Amino acid sequence: MPMTPTCLEVSTAGGRRYPVEIGDGLIARLGTVLDSHGVGRRRIVVSTPAIWRLVAADLEPVAGPHGPVLIPDGERFKHLATVGRIYEALVRLGADRGSTIVAVGGGVVGDVAGFAAATFLRGLDLVQVPTTLLAQVDAAIGGKVGVNHPAGKNLIGAFHPPRAVVIDPEVLATLPRREFRSGLYEVVKYGVIASRELFDTVRRHLRAVFAREPSVLQPLIAACCGIKARIVSQDEHERGPRRVLNFGHTAGHALEAITRYRRFRHGEAVAYGMLAAAAIARARGQLAEAAADELAALLTELGPRPPVADLSARDALDAMRHDKKIVDGQLHLVLPVEIGRTAIVTDVTPAEMEQALRAVGLGP
């Protein structure tokens, strides 16, 4: 039975609001959906070859006669050279300030195409159409766009809120299990930072979640989007409350950087980061052992993660020195207090972090 679509709103610092529409079949009606939200008629679709093969039949009318701008996918292509390819296409197509970039793909596509939108002609309108679970529950919402630098993840970027976010859970039917699991790690993150109920829902209905049953999956996506919309509306530019969304990302980004973005899916690295943060909180007596064990058990139940025993905790610590969450020389780290609540601290020592990384399996 089809689920009733869900529509949320996110407020921006400039007083504007943008819709997040969630529902099966929205990609097939994307042109009409964008019309309903007042998105300009000159639309330039940015996607990847693999994604475009899956959605071309539905989105060719949106892309128009010139077709989509296709870029390579994967974290190792999330750099300025890929943005440059989009710029070249925009120039060739004669894009102007009335043009809208429609990013169709996972988090990398959304970030790279979004950064191009933020910077070409000092800003074009952007629509996010996320096609992975991770992008649907997290990356597409909030206006963060950017690319990686060899020294660290997302070091080059901007805040550029979209005109709209259109989420179609049906596209997840073809998502490989590993990519789907990567998104589930972010769902667990939302449970830990804000909702015991969400955490328990994942745990109780894991079989149905992996089966991608609409009656379970769409409400799960909507719950994550609702949490992020609320947090981002309070603190769009990450000066306070929004920092809780970085739970697991400090160590996670470091793991991605020291493996040159080739070993981990983003969610997998974040899972290790959540375990490291929980180890610190547990050692400090801030997190009960039972709660830490619950988190570890659920992450294990989701399935296997790439090994880390050959990685150096000290190398990961070095990568963290370039973390974009450092403010005035202090790293803001999110630690769990209980399932559903976290605290932001600035006094975690390198020794504590190294011990936590060793605890989750890294070498010296």
Positions marked active-site? 122, 144, 186, 228, 238, 242, 246, 249, 253, 266
Cα–Cα distance between 159 and 145 in angstroms, integer?
6
Torsion of Cα atoms, 167 then 162 then 236 then 71, to 10°: 80
The pair phi, psi for residue 205, each rounded to 5°, is -115, 30
Reading the block at residue 172, the tokens are: 């997840």
H or E segment at 182? Answer: helix 177-194
Token pair for 238:
């990450």
Nearest to 20 by CA among 131, 163, 220, 234: 163
- Please enumerate in sequence order all residues whose Cβ is within 8 A of that of 7, keeping only pairs 6 or more positions apart, or say none: 19, 20, 21, 22
Measure the CA angle with vertex 202, ends 200 and 275; round to 5°: 85
3-state SS assignment for residue 275: helix
Alpha carbon dihedral 122, 128, 132, 135, in 10-degree steps, equals 60
Find how far residue 156's CA is from the centre of its chain: 16
Query: Is there a contact between 46 and 104 (Cβ–Cβ < 8 Å)?
Result: yes
Q: Which two tokens stand for residue 325?
A: 């969450």
The answer to whether 220 and 197 are in contact (CB under 8 A) is: no
Contacts of 304 (CB under 8 A, 6+ apart): none
